[in-house]
Amino acid sequence: MKQSVQVSILGQQFNLRSEASPEQVQRVARFVEDQIVQVTSSGRAVDSLQAAILALLNVSAAHLGGEPAAGSLETQGRRLGQLVEKIEAALE
């Protein structure tokens, strides 16, 4: 049964309906916000839409490249940094 869960990402409220537990939905929302914050803190994104797209590209590249979702934060941070550099190089 789908439940409605309210999450906040970058100060915006979203009402999500999911069959996942509210804790899982909140965890996903925190992950998404963390990814966007990493992009914005690098100074590589001009606005929140660009930051969200770059974060999505980072996560998608890791997922499609066969990278495991789990791992140390340090390893994930390094990998995301490398992906951001590749994306920026491709955009230039």
pLDDT reported for residue 73: 56
Q: Which two tokens stand for residue 38?
A: 């990493």
Enter the DSSP assignment of 45: -
According to the model, what pLDDT value does residue 40 have? Answer: 85
Q: State how many domains the chain has.
A: 1
pLDDT in tens, 33-86: 998 888 888 887 668 888 888 888 888 887 787 554 545 556 666 776 777 677
Identify which has the larger pLDDT, 15 or 87: 15
pTM over 0.85, yes/no: no
| Owning domain of residue 46 | 3-91
Of 33, 16, 12, the closest CA to residue 25 belongs to 16
Residue with tokens 């001009």: 46
Q: Which residue has the tokens 């914050």?
A: 37
